[in-house]
Amino acid sequence: MSLRIVVAVKYVPDATGDRHFAEDLTTDRDAVDGLLSELDEYAVEQALQIAEEADDAEITVLTVGPEDAKDALRKALSMGADQAVHVEDDALHGTDALGTSLVLAKAIEHTGYDLVVCGMASTDGTMGVLPAMLAERLGVPQVTLLSEVKVEDGKVTGRRDGDAASEQLEAQLPAVVSVTDQSGEARYPSFKGIMAAKKKKVESLDLSDLGIEEDEVGLAGAWTKVDSAAERPARTAGTIVTDEGEGGKQLAAFLAEQKFI
């Protein structure tokens, strides 16, 4: 039977643009172009590599987001994913990570899966909690933050590189994994892939399709709330170290303090 891989991806504001919050302290999506979160490109890449190794595999790329989030799906389809699922509903506006994990879990169950692949975090919220929440919601093992991942004999294995040690991990499928930006450069969409993407199926779902009540999601249903947001102040002048014989040590101490060394 075909290995069913679902890649959960996020459509995020372009970090090179001028990003702001809207009045309700959610992301202002009108002010800046969006794109497929760069960290999710690694997830798509690993899914593609797993699929290429498998005899028979099908990759569904899934996102929860506004109309324009289709761009993120299209990018993943251009890279080589087979089909896409887009959950879009006005009631989703302002949904937090917990609510998003509910919607994703329902959509993944709707699609059917053996393996869910996520990026390590989004490039906008950067919480990095979704893979774990998703595994809990689905009731399956989670193997997160992998820098190497493989699927063999009904198991997913991978390497997680920590500060002090590298762990070799394994879980039975079905499972949720997340991959880091060390897992391997994401491929560029080929022109053939770009042309083929427009013919691939994108299924649109709303909350009622997934049996989710409106009050479970959205700003009102969120368990976390943004009270206030302020622009980060402009950078202040750096620290100047004057070398009076101890300059080298002071620089080393600074670097150690900042965890660069």
Contact footprint for another protein (CB under 8 A): 71, 74-75, 78, 187-195, 197-198
Q: How far is the CB of 197 from another protein (least distance, A)?
A: 8
Taking the CA of residue 58 as centre, how many other CA atoms within 13 Å lie in the half-sphere pointing to its CB? 12
Q: Two tokens at 212?
A: 């989710």
Q: How far is the CB of 193 from another protein (least distance, A)?
A: 8
CB contact at 8 A, 202 and 186: no
Q: How far is the CB of 114 from another protein (least distance, A)?
A: 28
Q: How far is the CB of 74 from another protein (least distance, A)?
A: 7
Q: How far is the CB of 192 from another protein (least distance, A)?
A: 5
Q: Say how many C-beta atoms besides its own lie within 10 A of residue 123's C-beta.
A: 17
Between 78 and 178, CB nearer to another protein: 78
Between 68 and 82, CB nearer to another protein: 68
Between 81 and 115, CB nearer to another protein: 81
Between 42 and 113, CB nearer to another protein: 42
Between 20 and 249, CB nearer to another protein: 20
